[in-house]
Amino acid sequence: MVSVIPYLAETSEQSRSSHQQTDRSLVRRCLQGDRHSYQQLYRRYQAQVRSSLYQLCGPSHLDDLVQEVFLRVWKGLPKFRQASQFSTWLYRIVWNVASTERRQLAQAQQQTLSQTVEQFHLEFFLVLFMASDYIYLHGFASSPNSHKALYLRDRLSAEQITLQIPDLNQGDFSYVTLTRQLRQVEALFPDNGKPVSIIGFCFGGLTAAWLGQLHSQVQRLVLLAPAFQFLDHWLPQLGVAQVERWQQEQYLPVYHYGERRSLPIHYQFVIYLDQYQEEQLQRKIPTLILHGRDDKAIPIQASRDFASQRPWVQMRELDSDHGLANVLPEIWQEILKFRD
C-alpha cells in the first residue's frame, strides 16, 4: 500500500519541542491544515499502534493495517470530539481495523468468531490500552493542597490527564495508619481493571510501594523521597524517653504542615507500620525513585538500598532536601521520560 500519511521534514529543534505539545493542541493544528502536526501525532503513536495490531492480528499485512489506521485517523479528524482523549479514540480505530482484518481471515478459513468472544476481546483491549489513572499520595502530616501535589496536578492537566489527590488524613489525622491509607486508596481503583499509576511523596511513597506490591492493577510507580525504613529514622530522632512516654500516654503531638499546628497521633501508627516488612516489596513493577541528596528526614541511603536490591527500579539523585521544592521542573521532566 502506498503511504497516504502527510509528510513534512522536521528540524532537530522541532523534534525536541514536539513532545511538549499535547495531543489536543496537535489535533487542533491538524484541523487547521498543519500537516507537520499530524506527522507528530503519527510518530507519537505509530509504535503503539503497530504493537497492538501485531498482538490482535499477527504479522500478516501488518504494514498495510498500520497505514489503514492512520488513513482513517486523517479522514476522521474533522469528526473527532475535542472533549475526548485522542488516544482512546485512536485505539477504537485500531480495534475496528483489527476486527475487519480478523473477520476477513476467518471467512477465508471458513471460520466464524463467536460474538461473546468478540465482545470479550473488545473489552480486554480497551482496558489494556486506555490511559492509566493517576493518583498522587501526599506525605506524612501533609495535605492534598501541598505545593508538590498542585504542581503535578497542573502539569498532568496540561496533558489531559486527571490526577486524583485523596486526603489521606481523612479528617482524623490522630488515627492515621499505613493500613488505613491502603484501604482508602484501594477504593479509588477503577472497577473495570483499568491500569493505575501512583505518584507518592514520603509516607505516601511508602504507601504507593505497598499498593504496587499488593495490586497488579498498579502498573507504574513514581516515589518522591519515599519513607523507606521510616521507623528506623524517626524513632531515634524522638529518643527513647519520648517513645516510652508515647506508648504510655498513647498520643504524641506532631506538627501537621497541612493544618499548620500540632496534632496528636496515636501509638497504633507504630504498631501497624511495624507489621509491614519492606523486604517483601518484590513485585517487578516499573518504579522511578527521585530523592534529594541533602534529605535529613529520610536519608537518601534508604532509597539507594531499596533500588540496589531491585533491578526494575530506576533512581535519580537530586540536588535538594526532603521537600524537593527547588527541583519540581526537574522532577516533571524525569516523570515524562519515565512515562514514555
> What's 290's domain CATH number?
3.40.50.1820
Work out whether the CA dihedral 267, 257, 186, 184 comes out positive or negative.
positive
Q: Do residues 85 and 180 share a domain?
A: no
Q: Give buried/exposed letters for 100-111 (b at 16+ CB in 10 A, else e).
A: ebbeeeeeeeee
Q: Do residues 182 and 53 share a domain?
A: no
Q: Do residues 34 and 64 share a domain?
A: yes
**Could you write out the three-class secondary structure of 253-277?**
EEEECCCCEEEEEECHHHHHHCCCC
Of the three residues 94, 129, 164, the one that is the final residue of a domain is 129
Of the three residues 129, 158, 183, the one that is the final residue of a domain is 129
335's CB contacts (< 8 A; 6+ apart) are: 152, 199, 222, 288
How many distinct structural domains can be found in the chain? 2
- On whether the CB atoms of residues 200 and 207 are closer than 8 A, the answer is yes
Secondary structure of residue 58 in the 3-state scheme: coil
CATH code assigned at 94: 1.10.1740.10
CA dist., res. 268 & res. 196, Å (int): 29
Query: Looking only at Cα atoms, what is the longest distance across the chain?
Result: 80
Residue 12 has what pLDDT? 40
The C-alpha cell of 57 is what?
492480528
Give the number of other Cβ atoms within 10 Å of residue 194's Cβ. Answer: 16
Residue 127 has what pLDDT? 43
Q: Give buried/exposed letters for 10-49 (b at 16+ CB in 10 A, else e).
A: eeeeeeeebeeeebbebbebbeeeeebbbbbbbebbeeeb
Of the three residues 80, 112, 129, the one that is the final residue of a domain is 129
Give the number of other Cβ atoms within 10 Å of residue 248's Cβ. Answer: 8
Q: Do residues 255 and 333 share a domain?
A: yes
Q: Do residues 308 and 193 share a domain?
A: yes
One-letter amino acid identity for 104? Answer: Q
Q: pLDDT tens digits for the chain (340 residues)?
A: 444 444 433 444 444 444 446 888 888 888 888 888 888 888 888 988 988 888 888 888 889 999 999 999 889 888 887 667 888 888 889 999 988 888 887 776 655 545 555 555 444 444 444 456 899 999 999 999 999 999 999 999 888 888 999 999 999 999 999 999 999 999 999 887 888 999 999 999 999 999 999 999 999 999 999 999 999 999 999 999 999 999 999 999 999 999 999 999 999 999 999 999 999 999 999 999 999 999 999 999 999 999 999 999 999 999 999 999 999 999 999 999 887 6
The C-alpha cell of 199 is what?
505518584
291's CB contacts (< 8 A; 6+ apart) are: 224, 225, 226, 298, 300, 303, 315, 316, 317, 318
CA dist., res. 37 & res. 18, Å (int): 8
- On whether the CB atoms of residues 224 and 338 are closer than 8 A, the answer is no
Closest residue by Cα to residue 335 from 185, 144, 134: 134
Phi and psi at residue 132, to the nearest 5°: -70, 145
Domain interval for residue 183: 133-339
CA dist., res. 173 & res. 265, Å (int): 7
Specify if 304 maps to a domain: yes
- On whether the CB atoms of residues 89 and 129 are closer than 8 A, the answer is no
CA dist., res. 134 & res. 75, Å (int): 32
Q: Do residues 106 and 159 share a domain?
A: no
Phi and psi at residue 278, to the nearest 5°: -70, -20
Q: Do residues 70 and 143 share a domain?
A: no
Q: Which residue has the cell 469528526?
A: 79
Q: Do residues 124 and 167 share a domain?
A: no
Q: Do residues 55 and 143 share a domain?
A: no
